[in-house]
Structures are given as C-alpha cells and as structure tokens.
Amino acid sequence: MEREQLRRFRMGCCVGRGGFGEVYQAEMASPGGLTRTIAVKLLRREVGADAEALRRLRDEARLLACIRHPVVVRGFDLVRLDGRIGLVTEFVEGEDLLTCLRGEDRLPLRPLLQVIAELASGLSAAWSTTGEHGRPLRIVHRDVKPTNVRIGRHGVVKLLDFGIARFSDADREARTDSDVVIGSVPYMAPERFVAKAAASPAADVYGLGCLLYEGLAGRRFHDDGRIHVVSAMAVDSGRSAAHLAERFAQLPPLAPAIVDAMRSCLSHDPAARPAPADLAADVAALAESAVGPTLREWCRAHVWRIGPPRLATLEGRVLVESPIVLDEPAVADAPMGEVVPPRIVHEPRPTLDPSFYAKGGIRSGHAEAIEVGAVAGAVAAGCFVIGMIAAGVALAVTVAGFAMFTGAGS
C-alpha cells in the first residue's frame, strides 16, 4: 500500500486507560482529504498475536460492525499505529455517566430515565443482531457500568466497550473458559457469579438497575464492591433480598411505578427481570410522565467538565497507519507490507497471591476475570461462594486481570 494512500492520525489527549491499553481522541485524515474526530483504542505494544486482549479487540470490532443502533458506539476499523493494534470508533464529545451523576449539576430524574430507556433499547438490539450468516448473535454486553456509558453534549446516549461481550457466533476468536466470569463486580448480576451460568440479557438488565439506583440514590447499589461481599449475596437469595430492602429504604420519595421497575431489574432471579425491549418501553413511558427537563434540555444547560489530563506518550504525534501484522516481535524487522505468519504463544495463567484477600480483594469498578473452582467442603466464615455443590462449597479464586479500557473513575 502506497504511503500516500494510508490514513494519518493526529493523536490528541488520552481519554481512558486500562490494563491492556489506552484510548485516545484523534483526528483521522483519509487519503481523499476528509478529516474526522475519532477515538482509537490502542493495545499495549507488548500484547502478542496469541494474547486474549487482541482476540477480544478483534471480536469487539466485528460486533460493532454488525450492530446497527444509535445507542451503540460505531466501530469503523482496525488499525496498526506505531506498532500497536487499535480499534477506531466514533468519538462522543461529552462525559461518561459517572461524571454526570456527580456534583450539584447531576442528572435529574427525567433525563436519567431517558438514559436507562435508551440503553435498554440498545441492549435489546445487540441481543437480536444477526451476523454474517443471518443467525442472531445473542450479544450480552456483560460490563454495563457508568464509565461505559457516554452522554454527548447534544443529548445522545452511547454504550461503549463491548470488549468482554459474550455472543454466539462460532467464528469468535476469544474463548472464555466455562469456569471464568468477567465483569465489574459492583454491577454484576448474581447469576454471573455461578460457575457455568449462561450469559443472558437479564444480566445486562441487572446492570441497568444498578445504574438507575445509583442515579436516584447518589450511591452504588453495591456500595461495598468487594468481591467476597457481593458474591456472598449472589448465592443467598435471602441475603440479597435483605440488601435490596435496606438499599430501597434509603431512596428519596419516588413514584411507585419507578420503584417497581427498578425492583424488577434488581431481582435476584433473572427470570423475574424484564426483557430489555420491555424495560425500554416501560421506562420511556415513565420518563414521559416525569416532570423536569428532558435529556437534551439538560445537556444544553449543563456545564461540561474536562477530566484531569493523563500522561500519554502519543499525544501530539502524527501517526501513519501500517499493515496489520499480528506477530509483533517477528515483524519488527520485516519489510513494509510483508505478511509474517503469526506465532502461537501459550502463556500460563496468572495466579493470585494469598494476601489478596487480606488486602480487600478486587478493586471495585474495574472489569476483572475471576476463575472459580468448586472444592468440596463447608463454606467457612469470611469466604465467598460462587458455585454450590451439595452441602456447600469452599471457593478458590484467581484473578486474571481482564480489564480492557475501563476509562476514568468508577
């Protein structure tokens, strides 16, 4: 490919950073002379051709190319910049939902309901999206949380980061083991903590219930986001019901229909939660009957804040794309355009230091991979439970650190 036919990227500020890479705002200039503002999610340079992070990025690119819904962020292409593989998506100027739920100018009831209805509609579309062969992909996002929701300056709502989404396409590259669950602990549905539990839209609906509660109460539904606390409730419906009653008692006065809708989303039983399409219709109707500004009106009056600057090595540089070659170490000395066969690398799974539990467990708000193994025996006090076998299960947990581009905060 001739150099003048390649796209150029003027890298702006770093707007997000996670365990496997960074997200930059950038100006992308095409060979035809058109320039657009985009976001580019770049993996770290050391991520190899057989890395799970790369496989998930490629899967995410395929999903975003298939989903046709205004709430789901648009994916444009995969690109190789400065020796790093990246995903180019649309850039939404605004703030993440977490920022919009903080401070004196926080999102009020009516626009909050509109945001939840829009997200539910987008999740419904993702579930029913068909792939290249015309079969439904059955996409479950699995990481619905405030920092993965973007509110644009003109009132648009965007759902970001399908990096750990589960879908049914046989051609997907990333393969999550049946005894591994990934997500952000404070927003994970109870059934997600159970080994071999099937992913379903009900899990994403639970995440929406957590978002709605957080917006109304000013605090997270699982305020104590430590994994041993949240997962203990996941396998004990009575404990879960007591937690829900305690949290709902702390809510401000609300219309009963809003409380009922939120209660159904946060039901311990996934079968009792509404389908995303039904939830979208119900919450949109509640928003219509609510008083106050609409989402667009609130956005027009809102004072948009700029987050703290992040140190970023690529900011201000102009990068020209190069051919995507998956085996980074082998291609380092290869001529431009030469395709080198990928090298298969089998990496051992990381293990967890026993002091992890004494230090308080997983940092809340970040997507994590949790490997769960059922071991016969009674559950001792202070342990948490994910799978139950007969009289009880003692649980061993390993964190594989699967957080991809979680953004700031949470």
Tell me the pLDDT tens digit for each residue of 200-241.
999 999 999 999 999 999 999 999 888 999 999 999 999 999
Question: Could you tell me the CA-to-CA distances from 116 to 108, 149, 204 in Å, in that order?
Answer: 12, 10, 12
Question: How confident is residue 191, by pLDDT bands cut at 50, 70 and 90?
Answer: very high
Q: How far apart are CA 380 and CA 285, in angstroms?
A: 47
Cα four-point dihedral sign 268, 271, 272, 278? positive
CA nearest 23: which of 406, 325, 409, 410? 406
Question: How confident is residue 331, by pLDDT bands cut at 50, 70 and 90?
Answer: very low
- Tell me which fold the domain 3-91+306-331 belongs to: Phosphorylase Kinase; domain 1 (3.30.200)
User: For residue 81, is pLDDT > 70?
Assistant: yes
User: For residue 3, is pLDDT > 60?
Assistant: no
The count of C-alpha atoms lying within 13 angstroms of the C-alpha of 164, restricted to the half-sphere facing its C-beta, is 27
3-91+306-331 against 94-165+177-301: fold identical: no
Across the chain, what does the average pLDDT equal? Answer: 79
Q: How far apart are CA 204 and CA 189, in angstroms?
A: 8
Residue 282 among the catalytic residues: no
User: For residue 77, is pLDDT > 70?
Assistant: yes
pTM beyond 0.85: the answer is no
Per-residue pLDDT, 207: 98
Q: How far apart are CA 284 and CA 121, in angstroms?
A: 10
Q: Could you state, in order of their start, the residue ranges of all structural domains in the chain?
A: 3-91+306-331, 94-165+177-301, 355-399
Q: How far apart are CA 276 and CA 229, in angstroms?
A: 27
Per-residue pLDDT, 349: 31
Burial class of residue 289 in the structure, from the number of CB atoms within 10 Å of its CB (0-12 exposed, 13-18 middle, 19+ buried)? exposed
Question: Could you tell me the CA-to-CA distances from 29 to 8, 10, 32, 83, 390 in Å, in that order?
Answer: 5, 8, 8, 19, 61
The pair phi, psi for residue 39, each rounded to 5°, is -110, 140
CB–CB of 372/341 below 8 Å? no
Q: Residue 103: enclosing H or E segment and its boundaries?
A: none
What pLDDT digit, counting tens, does each position of 5-29 carry? 799 999 999 998 877 889 999 999 9
94-165+177-301 CATH, one of 1.10.510.10, 3.40.50.150, 3.40.1080.20, 3.90.1110.10: 1.10.510.10
Q: Mean pLDDT across the stretch 82-87?
A: 94
User: For residue 173, is pLDDT > 70?
Assistant: no
The more confidently predicted of residues 381 and 293 is 293
User: For residue 156, is pLDDT > 70?
Assistant: yes
User: For residue 2, is pLDDT > 70?
Assistant: no
Number of neighbours of residue 281 by Cβ within 10 angstroms: 16
Q: How far apart are CA 46 and CA 410, in angstroms?
A: 26
User: For residue 293, is pLDDT > 70?
Assistant: yes
Q: How far apart are CA 192 and CA 145, in angstroms?
A: 15
The catalytically annotated residue of 143, 161, 169, 282 is 143
Give me the percent of the chain exceeding a pLDDT of 70: 73
What pLDDT digit, counting tens, does each position of 25-59 carry? 999 999 989 999 999 999 998 887 668 889 999 99
CA nearest 50: which of 333, 326, 380, 303? 326
What pLDDT digit, counting tens, does each position of 336-387 carry? 333 233 332 333 333 333 332 233 333 333 455 554 433 223 333 333 333 3
Q: Mean pLDDT across the stretch 184-193?
A: 94
Residue carrying structure tokens 């996670």: 18
Alpha carbon 91 to its chain's center: 16
**Which tokens hold the place of 73?**
């962020």
**Which tokens hold the place of 325?**
């070659």
